[in-house]
Amino acid sequence: MRIDAHCHTDCSDGNVTIEERIAMIRSSGLDAATITDHDFISKEQVALARRHCQEMPYIPGIELSLRHQNKVVHLLGYFIDPEDSGVQRHISSVQEHDIAVTEKLTAHYRNRYRCDITLEDLKSDSLHTFYSMSFIRKAASDLFGNDSKKSLAAFQDAEETLGMSYADFSPWDVRSAIELLHTAGGIAVLAHPGGRNDALMQTLGFLLHDETHIRAYVSWGLDGIETGTPVHTPEETLFYTGLCREYNLLSTAGSDCHGNDPYLGPATMGVFTDIAGDSYETMCEYHQKKRF
């Protein structure tokens, strides 16, 4: 059974609702589903997704935004309990931090561009959640007609003016995040560890992971690596697949689909083909063996 193990809804920075995401999964011919929104999961989200999945298997997921060596790192979590108290405390902390950061951004854009986007404008349709990067996406659309160069230049100007980097949006460490996911009954998979040819990732300051980084994460309990992703070069895919074999890690693949969004990318779900036919079973078998 095939599962696209990385996708988003408007509960974070996707532009489709939970119901629309499940419909996209079905229409793409996938056999199982997950949603991995940034720094958000709840029992309501999981219940709604499962209701629309009907007979289709569903894996509760999340993508944690983190920082390592002052660079951005994303960590996927699967099979986690959405009601876990530690996870929900972390989500509350992220929401508070996101609101504080976004208030600084909205003030800067208001002064620089006379932009009147408010925090209320950024709440999702699905569950009225809030995510800071939704502001950047909306500003890109409202102010710059989704011109990526102008949008990124404006964001970099904001970072410089505010004395921040994108890594400051997510000042949580990888080791604690792996422990958090394990405590919630889940497994931890490093998202898109490469992407050296992806201009957006490099502009935002994502960490390009080498074996030294992976070895450290493994010592902290890392369970897997997202080896298949549209941002990886073929060489990167081979490199990270080799590390999975060497360190006995789970290998996953996902489109990182946000929806048909001109700024964050096209609706790649169903187009991205590096998904094994037994990807769902492989994830389930690994989780059953690990059982924290």
What integer pLDDT is reported at residue 292 of this predicted model? Answer: 53
- Cβ within 8 Å of residue 177, ≥6 positions away: 64, 66, 75, 188
CATH classification code of 18-94+171-290: 3.20.20.140
What integer pLDDT is reported at residue 290 of this predicted model? Answer: 82
Residue 123, pLDDT > 60, answer yes
Lowest mean pLDDT among 71-85, 123-137, 199-213, 254-268: 254-268
pLDDT for 246-279, tens place per residue? 999 999 999 999 876 655 555 567 778 889 999 9
Rounded Cα–Cα distance for residues 57 and 207 (Å): 33
What would the mean pLDDT of 66-72 be, rounded to a whole number?
Answer: 97
Q: In which band, very low, low, confident or very high, does the pLDDT at 63 lie, cut at 50, 70 and 90?
A: very high
pLDDT, mean over the chain: 92
Lowest mean pLDDT among 65-74, 191-200, 206-215: 191-200
pLDDT for 3-22, tens place per residue? 999 999 999 888 899 999 99
Q: Match 């080791």 to its residue by tokens.
A: 175
Residue 109, pLDDT > 90, answer yes
Lowest mean pLDDT among 4-13, 146-155, 180-189: 146-155
Lowest mean pLDDT among 127-141, 142-156, 199-213, 218-232: 127-141
Does the CA dihedral 8-138-48-22 come out positive or negative?
A: negative
Give the tokens for residue 244.
């999975």
Q: Is residue 68 helix, strand or coil?
A: strand
Q: In which band, very low, low, confident or very high, does the pLDDT at 226 lie, cut at 50, 70 and 90?
A: very high
What would the mean pLDDT of 54-68 be, rounded to a whole number?
Answer: 97
pTM of the model: 0.95
- Cβ within 8 Å of residue 48, ≥6 positions away: 18, 19, 126
Does the CA dihedral 107-113-117-122 come out positive or negative?
A: negative
What would the mean pLDDT of 76-95 be, rounded to a whole number?
Answer: 97
Residue 291, pLDDT > 80, answer no
Please name which of 90, 88, 73, 96 lies closest in space to residue 205, comparing C-alpha atoms.
Answer: 73
